[in-house]
Structure formats: structure tokens, C-alpha cells
Structure 1
Amino acid sequence: MKYLSTRGGVEPVGFAEAVMMGLATDGGLLVPESLPRIGPESLQEWSKLGFAELACEVMQRFVGDDLSASELQDLVQRSYASFQHPEITPLAQAGERRILELFHGPTAAFKDVALQFLGNLFEHFLARSGEQLNIIGATSGDTGSAAIAGVRGKERIQIFILHPKGRVSPIQERQMTTVLDANVHNLAVRGTFDDAQRIVKALFSDPDFKTRYRLGAVNSINWARILAQTVYYFYAWGRLSGGNPDHRVSFAVPTGNFGDVFAGYLAKRMGLPIERLILATNRNDILTRFVHHGLYSLTEVHHTLSPAMDIQVASNFERYLYYLLDEDAGAVSARVTAMQHDGRIEFSQTEHRRAAADFVAGAVSDADTLDQMRATYRETGYLLCPHTAVGVRAAAAWPEAVCLATAHPAKFNEAVQEAVGLDAPAPACLQGLLHLPTCCEEVAAEDDAVRQHIINTLAKVH
């Protein structure tokens, strides 16, 4: 399996190089040269597998010769050993609604499913090459803590995580800043998540800086993140279908950066019988507006009760754009350039119809988020985090849809208290965080400020 850039400026690379490269050197995102097709017989067999076994089956089709079957199995087993539920991503029932719980990992968020695996991949490939890696990432909440948990204390890795100052929940901030391992560096950016993400992309788009300081990516721009997230779509389908390849399942996916819902789209292209993908956004509704109107256009970023989705520039949208434009890298580059210049991409009627066939979408206000949290708890006793509530609300017209629960409600206890008047019971990984010492540096939302901070820090480390 080889990987190409969505913008066409990178020679095909193998899986290991794609993982270590993160963002393509031409500024695009890496995608497989071709997608494997999973037939009915394989789907039937996969439906009988446990999560780790299924992960190996899905991933083996993408890793090529860069990992042996035994190496992949070892990496997968170690990645999910820290999860607190034997099924890793179990299905729960909240009244008539099925909930796919993705929050049983070490930081109580869906990002753990991919980032525990990615951290072990980095360690494996670095041990093989003898090289060092400096990970740079931006987070709107959960990616940072999950990435830190995936690589803390690992040899040959330094990690720098940028979060928007004051725009993540107190628990999310403490999950990052209370990790005092010497290889972990937290930066609070005086700006929004989009500012932090822009800075990270700018650093990766500087070829001299990226090469000299051996930068690696943990955001969902890294292909391994998307790959790992496709697994739980196959897993949920298997639990609901009984292996019947004609059984179709719909999924409602809260999304800001388009990575989680893109993983579902990828699974569908591979042959998983998905009826519909319900793309759920909060007030920051650039993706919903795209599906409804065929226009992808920037507006200001609004602070909401679901802060991990407070995003306008969705990183993984470019991967979807690549497939929407029939894998034409030149056309993708032209649209991206238009976006950079004009802050918008307009789509033809044909392109819009195709997008509307791929997704249905809904934007959910804070008031409706709280109302959904309140209603679900009153009717079923099940507590939703505000992000999950956005997905449930957006899927109101499709009661059969499986809703992805992206975080444990205790990570957003203030919203839970406002909605239902009680505290969400905290899992062990979240207990006591507010009383631990912290380490974090504050920086301006400027490329040069962050670049210089990284240079100064690495000079001290090495």
C-alpha cells in the first residue's frame, strides 16, 4: 500500500513514511493510492471478531510490508490494554437510542482509540530507525490529552501541544498540563483553536524547519488516526447486523475537524453497509452549511458548550474534497488555493448533490444541546456529554441511528450540572486532576513565537 498527497506533490510513500511524515511535504494530506474493497464474506467473518482482532484485520490492508502480522498484533494489543471496558468501544442503550461509547480509554475521549495506537507506532518506527521525533499538535480539547497520554515518557519523542487559552474545559486543560514528564510541553495560545491549528500547519509547511527539527503530527491530519477510527464503525456494524451483509446501519457523528465522520465515510467506501452518515455540528456550522448549500465558507469561531467542535477550518475536509473531486489532485490544489485567498469554496450543483448524498447534516445550538442532555437523562437515566448530545439531537429524525459518544460526560461537568443539576460520576482517570501541580507556557498566536519557543526548548533538551 502506497500513499499520495491530496495535492499531488509527493511521490508515493509507504505506510511507515506516511505515519512519520504526518502532513504531506506539499502541504496536502496523505491518502491511500487505492482503497481496499471489503466483500460480504469478509464482513461476515469480521462481525464475529473482538475489537483488537478486527483492528488487525482492517489495518493490515493499509500497512503493507511495513509491519508484519505479529508486529501489528503486538502494537494493537498494547494500544488497547489500558481501556477500561473489555469491548473497547461498546454499544450502550439509552431508551430507543443506541450509543457507541468511545470514551473508555485513558483520557476518557474517543481520541484515545487512535492515539494510543499512533503513540506505539511512533515508538516502534523510531526504535527501528534510531531517529528522534518532535511532535507538534493543536487541540480543541481532547486530542491534546490523548496525544500526551499516547507518548508521555517515550524515548526519542518530544511533544508540543497547543491549546487555545481559556477555550477548553477545566478538566481538559488539567489532563494536559498536569502531565509533568520531561518530554511533554504544553503551550496555551492566546487565540482560538483555528489560530493554533494554523500555526501548526505553517510549521509543517516550512520544509527547512520540518526537516531540521524532525516534526511529526498527531492531529487527524495523520493518516494513522483516520485508519484507527474506521475500526469502530465496522465493530458497531458487526454487533448490530449479526453478520448479515444486507443489514445497513446509520451513524450520527459529532464533528468539528471532520476526522471522525471522514473515518465513517472511508469505511463506507470500503464496503461497510452504512445507510447514512449524519454530520452533527454545533453553532460553528461550516460543515453543515457545506452539506446544505454547497458552500464552504469561513465565519467567526463561536465559543460553545461543546468546545472540541469550536472549529471553522476542518483539517480533514481536504481528504473528502479529494474524493469528491474524483481524486484529481490538481482540482484539489485549485480549491485549496481559492480557500486560502477568499475564505470560501463554491461547489457546482453536481458536486453539491454528491455531497448531499454522502451526508445529512444538522447544526445544534447550545440551548438545544442542554435540552437534549436534559431529555435523555429524564427519559432514560443516561448522561450525555455536550458533544454527544449534539449528535443525538442532529439525529432526532433517525431514531435507528447509532450515535457516537465522543467523551465521558464528566469531562464537561459544568454543562452536565447546567442541564440536569447533578455531577457526572468521574472515571478514575479524571479524579483529583484539579488538585495536581501543572506546567504550561503561554504564547502569542503567532507562527514565529511558537517556532522560537520550540527551538529554545529543544536546545535545552538536546
Structure 2
Amino acid sequence: MKYKSTRGGVSDLNFTDAFLMGLATDGGLIVPQTIPNVDLDNLRDLDYNNLAFEIFRLFIDDIPYNDLRTLIGKSYSTFDTQEVTPVVKKNGLFILELFHGPTFAFKDVALQFLGNLFEYVLKKRNTYVNVLGATSGDTGSAAIYGLKGKENINIFILHPHNKVSKVQELQMTTVEDVNVYNLAIEGTFDDCQAIVKSIFNDLKFKEKYHLAAVNSINWARILAQIVYYFYAYFKSGVDKAYFSVPTGNFGDIFAGYMAKRMGLPIEKLILATNSNDILYRFVNYGDYSTGKVVKTLSPSMDIQVASNFERYLYYLSDENSIRVKELMDEFTRTKKLKFEGDLLKKVQLDFESYRAGVEDTLATIKRFYEETGYIVDPHTAAGVFAAIKAGYRDVICLSTAHPAKFPDAIMDAIGAYPEKPRAISELEDKNKRMWVLGNSVDEVKKFIEKKLQKG
């Protein structure tokens, strides 16, 4: 399997090189040069680890299979259930629980694997990396827990200061390993993301400081997330699948789109947003234009620029890299794109979308709890809301975070706090460690230079 950029300037990369590159050197995103087809019957009865191996090996041919199995086993041994991503049925919906990893969010499924993969690859190549990423809440803590204490790695994570949940902030800032740097940026997540992308596009700086990515711009993140779509399909026992996915960055739902391209019988991907609704407007009206980021109960979706959108745009454009580059250049200039006619109809064959405001979110948490006794977090609630709106039977809803990560929202909805896992309860007593920086590319660059030169 070889990899290329959505913008056409990079091609014929093997998996490991694509993984280490993160963002393509031409500014595009890495995608596989071909999409493999799978035989569902050969996968149907596998446990999670073996299913992950069978899917990973379709995309990875430069890591020995025994080593790949070891990496998978090590990564998912940190989860609190052997199922890794259990599926439960509640009130006519399937809930795919993606929060059984060490930070209680779906990002652990990919980032536990990425942490071990980084350590493995760097040791093989006798080199080092400095990981740079932005987070709207969960990616940061999951990346930190995946990489803390790893050899030959430093990690710099940007998050919007005072715009993530208290638990999300504590999970990031209470990690005291010397290779971890938490940068609280005076701005929004989109500002953090723009800073990271700008730094990666400075190729001299990127090469000088051996920068690597863990955000969902890294193809390995998408690959790891593809697995649980297959797993949920097999566990649910449905013939044709409908998935409802709360998303802001388009990464999680893009993994579902890739699973569909590989042959998983997905009838529809239901895209759930909160009030930050650029993706809702794109699917329903062809309007991909930025707005002001609104603070909501689901901070991981408080995003107005979806970093994985370019990957979908590549396939929507029939893999025309020249057209993708034109469109992304236009978006950089104008902050908007318009899709109409047959192109919009093509989008709507794959997706439908619903928007859950704050009141919708609280009402869904309350209603679902009263009817089932099951508590969903605010992000999952957006997905449940969208699934109910869509009206299909047996929808599989991705539950992306444990409700204890958002206790105040749960209290507002049901009048009680959710039970806290011990690992979350213990955060309150730990020391915090972070650096508050201005909304500035130069300020972040100077911080990185200072810390790495000092090291």
C-alpha cells in the first residue's frame, strides 16, 4: 500500500513515511493511493484485536505482522474491557461505547495505538520527533496519555484557554512527565488548529525540529477509527447500517466513509453537529463557510473549520488533486465554498445531517435517561438527537465520551451528577502544569524553540 497527498505533490509513500509526515509537505492530507475491498465473512467473528490486525494489514505493509500484532495488543490492553468498544442496545438504538480507554474518550482508540507506533518506528529508525497538535478537548489528553514518558518524543499540545471542560483540562494539565508541554492559547480551537497548520507548513521549521502530527490530519488516526465501524456492524447484527456520528473535525465520520468505501454496507452516515454547524450547512445546503465559534456544552465539536474535510473533498472531486488544491486555496482566501446541483446530491447520498442546540442536547440527555436509565454525554446526545430525527431503525450511535467528563451538563439535564470513574476523581488532587500563550504563531514557535534548545 502506498500513500499520496490530496493536493498531488506527494505520492508513493510507504505507511511509515506517511505516518511520520503527518501533514503532507505540499499542504495537503495523506490518503491511500487505493482503497482495499474487504471480505466481510472473513472478519465477522473476530475479536477486536484480530479485527484491527486484519484491517490494519490492508494498509500497512512495511511493519512485520508479528510486530503489528504486538503493537495492537499493547495499545488495547489499556482499555477497561476486552471488547475495547462494546455495543449496547437502548431504546431501539445501538450505542457504540468508545470511552473505555485511559482518558474516557473515543480518541484513545487511535492515540493509544499512535503512541506505541511512534515509539516503535523511532526506535527502528534511531531518531526522534516532537509532536505538535491542537485539541478542542479530548484529542489533547488522549495524545498525552498515549505519548507521555515515551522515548525519543516530546509532545506540545495547544488547547483554547478556558474553553474546554474542567475534566478535559485536568486530564491534560496534571500530567507531569517532562516530555509533555500543555499550551493554553488565548483563542478558539480553530485558532489553535490554524497555528499548528501554519507551523507545519513552515517546512524549514518542521524539518529542523522534527515535527510530527497526532491530530486527525495523521492518516494513522483515521485508520485506527475505521476498525470500530466494522466491529459495531458485526456486533449489532444489522444487514444495512445507519451510523449517527457527533463530529466537528470530520475525522470520526470520515473513518466511517472509508469503511463504506471498503465495502461495509453503510446505508447512511448521519452527521450530528452542535451550534457550530459548518458541516450541517454543508450537507444540507452546500454551504461550507466559516462562522464565529460558539461555546456549547459539547466543546470537542466547537469547531468551524473541519480539518479532515479536505480528504472527503478529494473523493467528492473524483480524486482530482488539481481541483482540490484550487478549492482549498479558494477557501483560504474567502473562508467559504459552495456546492450545488449534482455535487450536492452526491454528498447527500452518503450523508444527512442534523444540528443539536444546547436545549436539544439537554432535552435528549434527560429523555434518554428517563426512558433507559442510561446517561449519555453532550456529544453523544447530539448523535442520539440526530438519530431520532433521522427516524431510521436500529441506528448505531457513536458514544464518544464518558458522561463524567461533562458533569455540569449532566447535572443541568437530569438533576444529578454522573458517577465518576476513579481515574477522574483523582485528578482534583494533582498539580497542574501548563503555559498560557497568546494567539500567535510566532509566540508558539518561540516557545518550542526555547524548550527544545534548552533540552
- TM bracket (short chain): over 0.9
Deviation at 1:240, TM superposition (A): 2.2
Normalised TM-score (structure 1): 0.97
What secondary structure sits across from 2:418 in the alignment?
A: coil
Contact 2:94–2:236 (CA under 8 A) maintained in structure 1? no
Which residue does the alignment assign to 1:122? Answer: 118
Q: Does 1:197 align with 2:193?
A: yes
Q: How many equivalent pairs are there?
A: 453
Which residue does the alignment assign to 1:414? Answer: 408
Q: Partner letter of residue 101 of structure 1?
A: E
Kindly report which structure 2 residues correspond to 1:368-387, keeping only aligned pairs within 5 A, or say none.
368-387=360-379
Which runs of 5 or more structure 1 residues have no equivalent in the other structure? none
Which residue does the alignment assign to 2:130? Answer: 134
Which residue does the alignment assign to 2:90? Answer: 94
Q: Does 1:22 align with 2:31?
A: no
Q: Does 1:53 align with 2:38?
A: no
- Cα-to-partner distance string for 1:407-461 (whole Å, 9 max, x where unaligned): 0000000100100011111123212212210100000111000000000011122
216, 219, 233: which one pairs with 1:223?
219
The 10-residue stretch of structure 1 (130-139 or 427-436) with the greater mean CA deviation from structure 2: 427-436
Distance 2:419 2:95 in 1: 18
Deviation at 1:216, TM superposition (A): 0.4
261, 277, 295: which one pairs with 2:287?
295
Q: Does 1:445 align with 2:439?
A: yes
- Cα-to-partner distance string for 1:98-139 (whole Å, 9 max, x where unaligned): 100000000000000000001111111100011110000000
Distance 1:353 1:299 in 2: 24
Kindly report which structure 2 residues correspond to 1:301-380, keeping only aligned pairs within 5 A, or say none.
301-380=293-372
Q: Does 1:214 align with 2:206?
A: no
Distance 1:30 1:314 in 2: 15
Kindly report which structure 2 residues correspond to 1:129-168, keeping only aligned pairs within 5 A, or say none.
129-168=125-164
TM-align CA RMSD: 0.8
Normalised TM-score (structure 2): 0.99
Which residue does the alignment assign to 2:265? Answer: 273
Deviation at 1:399, TM superposition (A): 4.1
Contact 1:108–1:429 (CA under 8 A) maintained in structure 2? no
Contact 2:246–2:398 (CA under 8 A) maintained in structure 1? yes
What secondary structure sits across from 1:219 in the alignment?
A: coil
Contact 2:173–2:434 (CA under 8 A) maintained in structure 1? yes
Distance 2:377 2:237 in 1: 27
Distance 2:55 2:353 in 1: 27
Which runs of 5 or more structure 2 residues have no equivalent in the other structure? none
Q: Partner letter of residue 169 of structure 1?
A: S
What secondary structure sits across from 1:161 in the alignment?
A: strand
Deviation at 1:345, TM superposition (A): 0.9
Q: Partner letter of residue 58 of structure 2?
A: R
427, 433, 453: which one pairs with 1:433?
427
Distance 2:17 2:319 in 1: 21
Which residue does the alignment assign to 1:241? Answer: 237
The sequence identity of aligned pairs, in percent, is 52
277, 280, 283: which one pairs with 2:275?
283
Kindly report which structure 2 residues correspond to 1:161-200, keeping only aligned pairs within 5 A, or say none.
161-200=157-196
Contact 2:181–2:434 (CA under 8 A) maintained in structure 1? yes
Q: Does 1:76 align with 2:72?
A: yes
Distance 1:4 1:271 in 2: 22
